[in-house]
Structure 1
């Protein structure tokens, strides 16, 4: 077996040709957690050592300690072609005005010391607040101005990635968890990427280090103090527990010995071979062992039919991770280091506010700000005692912009988010919905609309009526109303 001297590369766009193994800088925050920061010139020298070996694509974020500053020092000393710096912007939830988005991007430019961000990846905590779509359109404008080369997102599920693309946002990548344990990205998200031409950047491929020889045949750990392992141990638990995980490790070990590589190589290679995956992100502990030799062995072999069969057999003894990609940050079970994000999500601002109805102590209403609510005299939603009625809702952003005009499924996703936001303002949630009514203009849209409805209500199964009508006001393809009853 001959080990390559350089990692494989992939041209993502006219602007970007990447190493298929990206060097992740999230551990900079862990190194600096006690207050001391890495000297940026020393840090840049460590990054240069990776770049010299062909690992010249770096992934970071606004909250990864001084990672952006360190990368900036590397870029300042590099000739053309210089290394690539991909960063994430994770703004606090709230209105995403033009000024707010520009300020977020300009902060990245300043810390990196560049005129253009190679890939700006956007993260948003909850899709009920529609400001996420506003932000992506503002980022699109900044891309047109030359401040961003390409736009990506992080932890988007298939439905909301599709919605953004259908609404005209030129998203190049989506960064998600993907591993032998967490195989969600191989489903609907990969299918969407194949249809749309978007690519995945995969993290968590080694499950915080659990996918390695160190844990093969070992007893289940009782006390874990490492934040990364705390997170990925939750993935192991929810997919069947330690014994089922050992089955995956044992299968990967047999494959590794066959190809004379490591379990980590097998785990990462399995992700890399998915056609929707552009690259995998491998964390770097700056100043410590680089693992360059082991990472290069990723490109010395391929998994064959026998290998895939052995892994599929191991997978059959496990359960899938609940939900779609990114759900671990937005709904229980929270598969994060702390295991609970409810305190964080409870602080997110709601797009709508419930107001008491004068003279009625058992009645509240929600207004969305549409001019038609005053002209026609109606509310987005009404709560009377424990019953909630939501008016017919369309895919309208702001005052009058129609979202995803040509895509009924994407419109349905936006509409249901809007309905859930109104319910949330009145103290209800999707599980409280007992009836939905759907009006559509084209019978050909039935399946796309039904799948978008089923994504949210598949387990809840409210009563439902769907009818084809002659037309809706405006160029909308779908309108939905809902009823809910609070039983708690």
Structure 2
């Protein structure tokens, strides 16, 4: 059994709090990386249409022998499929590449606000739930104003909002909006692409618990209540990122890492990115 705790989503699903991401993992490396992750004990895999590696992820899911019902699979809809009917087609295309009949969570990858198409796309995701193509739906990179517009539709609220979140960019306003609406917060780029790993507060916490700086940051995420999806193609790093359940940061250590906020964004700003 995986030691990973789960987060109760607002639709009744239980999502592993620690998952494995495959952003920027080439297609020819994705199968082996995901197989290694599943063999290590990860039970949540996060991919996306735009990553170009859904086929490799699907092959790994089929090859490892881990029962399908034990693995929480997330994929995402790219901006070129924003629209009610297009969203359904996009999911069907992802399912074909993954060789699955459904995913556990399907996300709108970006709001792309200049297109003003994410509301229609969201209705397409609701249609996909009714069709049994996905068990849950959510969003990625949505700001509070985008969430509020979804709420005003009066239908399903996102189960998850996956956002850039790490010690240097804690996205507190969006995290608060997620909490207010009952939406789980999931962190992408949880280690800021390594940019925070030499911070004294993180080095001190890592030394105090005899763990790596990356392990200390991932533990901070868990204690903050974030779902987190670190990625790697290196077996030793995949295992290291999973070994974060045998220690706990003190309140003072968490507060010291909290204090590292500096608006240190590594990716696009959701208000400006339109594909």
Give the TM-score of the pair, scaled to structure 2. Answer: 0.86
State the alpha-carbon separation in 1 of the partners of residues 100 and 20 from structure 2. Answer: 19
State the alpha-carbon separation in 1 of the partners of residues 202 and 70 from structure 2. Answer: 36
Gaps of 5+ in 2: none
Corresponding residue for residue 297 of structure 1: 243
State how 1:78-477 maps to structure 2 within 5 Å: 78=65, 79-92=67-80, 96-98=83-85, 100-167=86-153, 168-184=155-171, 187-212=172-197, 216=198, 249-275=199-225, 277=226, 279-285=227-233, 288-312=234-258, 314-315=259-260, 319-320=262-263, 328-331=269-272, 345=274
Alpha-carbon distance change, 310 to 131 in structure 1, aligned in 2, over 3 angstroms: closer
Q: Which has the higher contact order (CA 8 A, sep 6+)?
A: 2
SS in 2 for 1:88: strand
Corresponding residue for residue 70 of structure 1: 56
Alpha-carbon distance change, 14 to 173 in structure 1, aligned in 2, over 3 angstroms: closer
Gaps of 5+ in 1: 217-248, 332-340, 349-488
Task: Report the aligned-residue RMSD.
Answer: 2.8
State the alpha-carbon separation in 2 of the partners of residues 321 and 45 from structure 1. Answer: 32
The Cα shift of 1:93 comes to 7.1
State the alpha-carbon separation in 2 of the partners of residues 54 and 13 from structure 1. Answer: 25
The Cα shift of 1:16 comes to 4.1
Higher strand content, 1 or 2: 1
The Cα shift of 1:329 comes to 4.3
Give the TM-score of the pair, scaled to structure 1. Answer: 0.51
8 Å CA contact 1:252–1:266 kept in 2: the answer is yes
State the alpha-carbon separation in 2 of the partners of residues 93 and 69 from structure 1. Answer: 19
Higher helix content, 1 or 2: 2
8 Å CA contact 2:168–2:262 kept in 1: the answer is no
SS in 1 for 2:149: helix
SS in 2 for 1:111: helix
Alpha-carbon distance change, 52 to 9 in structure 1, aligned in 2, over 3 angstroms: farther
Corresponding residue for residue 19 of structure 1: 16
